[in-house]
Amino acid sequence: MQTGYYAATGGMVAQFNRMDTIASNLANANTAGYKQDQLITGDFVRLFKDKQSILPIANQTEEAAQYFNRSLSRVPQITDAYTDFSLGSMQKTENTFDLALSKVGQFFAVKTPQGVRLTRDGTFTTNDEGKLVTKQGYEVLSTDYFQTKTAITFNPDDSIITIDKNGQISTNVAGSTQMVANKKLMVIEPQNIRMLKKEGDGFYVPDPADPLKPLTESGSVMQGYTEKSNVNAVHEMIALVEANRMVGMYQKAMDSQMNDLNKDAIEKLAVTRR
């Protein structure tokens, strides 16, 4: 295979992956609490330098030098992917159970059929049993959940419900404005945010080694607000157009390699002397 054709193919594949990521970001531009994904593009040289210490052949041998294929050295590769956890803008809704977190790296804890999951989407509600749940119907956890296994619940008589910046819930005594303490929201700050894995519906799978210790004072809970996604739709559209044009450029390069150069070579090789 010709070197130029391989390089163009690798570049096209990298742009296809980039377009998939951009499309996912744009599709979730209006999803509360969504964090955009980003890709890092490198090349064979960078991959080799990162992995040469674990190659099965010693670095200073003739065989190792042969492994370092210069013809592949500048082929674009997706070398890493990460999630941008920067804050999105805060939108005021004044809904009692709309909650947002104003600090980076903090999450609400939720009980799902697959286990405890973390989320930044604080558009909560109550179900028929009075339990505080997500829009998917999953229970929102309190700080004492691991000890009591009980849910955050409200009575029909709770006409006033307040939640302070640390997640402490207070409700009024029936028929009065006197407030009493209820449960406290479990707000988690993972030890290594890069270890979180997206699972869909705005949920993250925590690192199994993380103890998920609730914060005593998060200082970030905002009642009556939702955090919008941190996707900049304009920037993503520009990136999508750029990636699409790059695919077109690589396609032309591939056509040039396969058609023009090969045709020229065949015509020259086909000439015979009598």
Q: For 165-209, give the DSSP string.
A: TT-EEEEEPTTS--EEEEEEB-EE--S-GGG-EEEETTEEEPPTT
Both 66 and 41 in a single domain?
Answer: yes
User: Is residue 47 situated within a structural domain?
Assistant: yes
Strands 203-205 and 115-119: antiparallel
Both 47 and 162 in a single domain?
Answer: no
What domain count does the chain have?
Answer: 2
User: Is residue 274 situated within a structural domain?
Assistant: no
> pLDDT tens digit string along 194-253?
899 999 899 999 999 988 899 999 999 999 999 999 999 999 999 999 999 999 988 888
> pLDDT tens digit string along 72-93?
556 777 777 889 999 999 999 9
Q: DSSP assignment of 84-129, as one string?
A: --PPPPEEE---TTBEEE-STT-EEEEEETTEEEEES--B-EE-TT
Domain hosting residue 139, numbered range:
90-227
Both 158 and 102 in a single domain?
Answer: yes
Q: According to the model, what pLDDT value does residue 62 have?
A: 52
Q: Which residue has the higher pLDDT, 134 or 262?
A: 134
